[in-house]
Amino acid sequence: MRPLIDVIRVGITSIREGAIRRFNATGRPGETFEDGTFLQQYGLASRPKANSAEGLVIKKGNGVYLIATGDRAVTIELADGEVALHTDEGDNIHLKRDRIIEVNGGEKVIVNTKVAEINATTSAKIVSPVVELGDGALKKLVNEEIVTKINAATFGGYPIDSPIVLADVATSKTKAS
């Protein structure tokens, strides 16, 4: 007697987008699956590359459902309890031990929202050769101490004619502390 449900390891040959994602795959020798349903967890979506990923298929009667996928060529080393999302190009979000979240983007990381906020109780650090605020519309970030030192400086023994006013070179939102 055949089991009511077969669980089969497959090689994914194609994925098709639509209201219901569909897949084609090869299974055991001589076995192919066409137009199967690609099931995924709520809130998560992925599209494996054809001929590079493998999956787990559940077959019941005429229904074929892809329930898990993976690609051995693209892995992230994880410690117990860690979670990661990743692409085949190496971009990833890694939720690590000790409450560390690491985001790695190969070319660009974009955050789109109405309001963005970073709360750091100890420190915040940006390491970059160029930092641009407000798409260039905000005035440059200036520290009051620098303005005071420039205004106190003399050039050839003469003080500057027009002292710099902090409000003219920084705003309360861009002023360094």
Task: Please give the single-letter amino acid code of residue 32.
Answer: T
How much is the pLDDT for 4? 79
Q: What is the mean pLDDT of residues 29-34?
A: 93
Is 151 in contact with 170 (CB distance < 8 Å)? no
Domain boundaries in the chain? Answer: 6-70, 126-177
Q: What is the pLDDT of residue 142?
A: 64
Give yes or no for residue 128 having a pLDDT over 70: yes
| Pick among 1.10.3470, 3.30.70, 1.10.287, 2.40.50: CATH of 6-70 | 2.40.50
The pLDDT tens digits for 136-158 are 445 556 667 778 888 888 888 88
pTM: 0.65
pLDDT at 15 (0 to 100)? 92
Task: Specify whether the backbone of 128 is left (phi greater than 0), alpha (psi in -120 to 50) or beta.
Answer: beta
Contacts of 71 (CB under 8 A, 6+ apart): 48, 49, 52, 53, 54, 88
Cα–Cα dist 171/154, whole Å: 26
pLDDT, tens digit (0-9, with 9 covering 90-100), for 41-77: 888 888 888 888 889 999 888 889 988 888 888 888 9
